């Protein structure tokens, strides 16, 4: 989920924690658990600092080890331990427990996005992405905001957020069933499909789709229970081509390939200058595929510049490649 949603979820857990007598009956514990829950709800995304290095490192590692099974246990020890140094009178066990719930809930809800996480690492490095909830879901965000407002006007925070979370459980079940129906519909149109990649949007009845068969990739959209097809591309392994092989040595393209499960590529050569472009097919927006990896090579197949990330115009891409050349 987005940062704002994780923040309001942390506040909500701080309110929910008041149902715990050890927390609810102690003003110091209420404040301490609130701080721990807010930090814990953000902690797995602290790897965003990797953007300061470059996009390749960020894409390869974001939602990786910081969302893993060991991290879910380690983050609460770090956060609760650090807070206990400043508030030694706080009950450590209950402080750790609510911090753990905040961290676990962060990782759990991220699984439902199309981006996904490596939540079962180190058991498996496979990305788990259920694709049923958008990165920012207005209903989830506003439900938490409504709970915070009710709390502000005197409603019991524990029972308020307990009620909201019961509602959200049913919401998640409904969204997962809706996703499953869209996938089943796509497979009914292409019975030979080996995989359907699905990405939710802001609209409940609109989904991005990539339907993969043994021969083809079909880019489509499900809107109001009707599937519209846009483009189709041959599904084939990356060719053993000297230009592409040279480009694959680049860190940006390598990071893109480690993350993207369905893509197409093209090679353009002009005056002995070469450009290799990979685009992720899952995020088609207004006829444009914004998540890309670009590698530019000279006549000797040496890498001149490269970039991977989200680009919504060719002008922006040219500027980023120019900055890459300068760095």
Q: Is residue 249 part of a domain?
A: yes
Higher pLDDT, 270 or 103: 103
pLDDT at 66: 87
Residue 304: band (very low, low, confident or very high) from pLDDT cuts 50, 70, 90:
very high
170, HSE (Cβ side, Cα atoms, 13 Å)? 5
Q: Is residue 180 part of a domain?
A: no
Tokens of 238: 């990356």
* Residue 145 and residue 26 share a domain: yes
pLDDT at 271: 87
Residue 249, number of CB atoms within 10 A of its CB: 12
Average pLDDT of the residues of the chain: 91
Q: Is residue 257 part of a domain?
A: yes
Mean pLDDT computed over 303-324: 73
pLDDT at 318: 64
pLDDT at 114: 86
Q: What is the tens place of the pLDDT at every residue in 252-261?
A: 999 899 888 9
Higher pLDDT, 286 or 155: 155
* Residue 116 and residue 9 share a domain: yes
pLDDT at 117: 87
Q: What is the tens place of the pLDDT at every residue in 119-178?
A: 888 998 888 889 999 999 999 999 999 999 999 999 999 999 999 999 999 999 999 999
Q: Is residue 103 part of a domain?
A: yes
* Residue 88 and residue 196 share a domain: no
Tokens of 240: 């053993």
Domain end position, chosen among 175, 209, 224 = 175
* Residue 100 and residue 195 share a domain: no
* Residue 224 and residue 195 share a domain: yes
* Residue 258 and residue 204 share a domain: no
pLDDT at 316: 65
Q: Is residue 184 part of a domain?
A: no
Range of the domain at 318: 242-326
Mean pLDDT computed over 75-102: 96
Instruction: Compute the CA torsion angle 104, 109, 115, 121 (nearest 10 deg).
Output: 30
* C-beta of residue 298 within 8 angstroms of C-beta of residue 272: yes
* C-beta of residue 264 within 8 angstroms of C-beta of residue 239: no
* Residue 49 and residue 115 share a domain: yes
Q: Is residue 181 part of a domain?
A: no
Domain end position, chosen among 129, 145, 175 = 175
Higher pLDDT, 58 or 2: 2
pLDDT at 319: 66
Residue 118: band (very low, low, confident or very high) from pLDDT cuts 50, 70, 90:
confident
* C-beta of residue 276 within 8 angstroms of C-beta of residue 267: yes
324 has a pLDDT exceeding 60: no
* Residue 194 and residue 155 share a domain: no
Q: Is residue 126 part of a domain?
A: yes
Instruction: Report the distance separating Cα 63 and Cα 312, nearest Å.
Output: 23
* Residue 165 and residue 90 share a domain: yes
Name the least confident of 87-96, 99-108, 291-300: 291-300
pLDDT at 321: 63
Q: Is residue 276 part of a domain?
A: yes
* Residue 208 and residue 128 share a domain: no
327 has a pLDDT exceeding 60: no
Greatest mean pLDDT among 13-22, 281-290, 302-311: 13-22
Instruction: Report the distance separating Cα 265 and Cα 72, nearest Å.
Output: 37
State percent of the chain over pLDDT 90.
72
* C-beta of residue 48 within 8 angstroms of C-beta of residue 58: yes
Q: What is the tens place of the pLDDT at every residue in 173-193?
A: 999 999 999 999 999 999 999
* Residue 211 and residue 124 share a domain: no
pTM for the model: 0.88
54 has a pLDDT exceeding 80: no
Domain tally for the chain?
3
Ramachandran bin of 126, using left for φ above 0, alpha for ψ from -120 to 50, beta for the remaining angles: beta
* Residue 262 and residue 215 share a domain: no
């Amino acid at each position: 989920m987005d940062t704002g949603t994780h923040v309001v979820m942390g506040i909500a857990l701080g309110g929910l924690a008041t149902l715990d007598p050890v927390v609810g009956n102690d003003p110091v514990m209420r404040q301490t658990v609130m701080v721990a829950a807010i930090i814990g709800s953000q902690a797995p995304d602290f790897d965003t600092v990797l953007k300061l290095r470059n996009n390749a490192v960020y894409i390869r590692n974001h939602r990786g080890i910081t969302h893993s099974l060991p991290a879910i246990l380690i983050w609460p020890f770090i956060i609760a331990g650090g807070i206990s140094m400043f508030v030694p009178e706080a009950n450590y066990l209950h402080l750790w427990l609510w911090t753990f719930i905040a961290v676990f809930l962060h990782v759990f809800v991220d699984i439902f996005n199309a981006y996904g996480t490596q939540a079962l690492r180190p058991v498996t490095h496979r990305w788990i992405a259920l694709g049923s909830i958008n990165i920012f879901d207005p209903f989830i965000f506003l439900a938490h905001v409504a709970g915070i407002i009710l709390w502000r006007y005197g409603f019991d925070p524990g029972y308020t957020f307990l009620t909201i979370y019961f509602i959200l459980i049913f919401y998640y079940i409904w969204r997962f069933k809706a996703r499953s129906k869209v996938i089943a519909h796509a497979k009914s149109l292409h019975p030979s499909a080996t995989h359907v990649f699905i990405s939710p949007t802001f609209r409940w009845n609109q989904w991005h789709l990539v339907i993969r068969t043994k021969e083809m990739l079909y880019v489509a959209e499900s809107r109001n229970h009707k599937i519209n097809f846009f483009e189709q591309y041959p599904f084939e392994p990356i060719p053993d081509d000297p230009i592409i092989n040279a480009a694959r040595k680049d860190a940006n393209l390598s990071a893109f390939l480690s993350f993207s499960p369905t893509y197409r590529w093209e090679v353009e050569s002009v005056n002995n200058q070469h450009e290799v472009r990979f685009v992720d097919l899952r995020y088609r927006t207004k006829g444009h595929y914004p998540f890309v990896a670009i590698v530019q090579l000279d006549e000797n197949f040496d890498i001149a510049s490269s970039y991977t990330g989200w680009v919504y115009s060719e002008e922006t891409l040219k500027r980023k490649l120019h900055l890459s050349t300068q760095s």
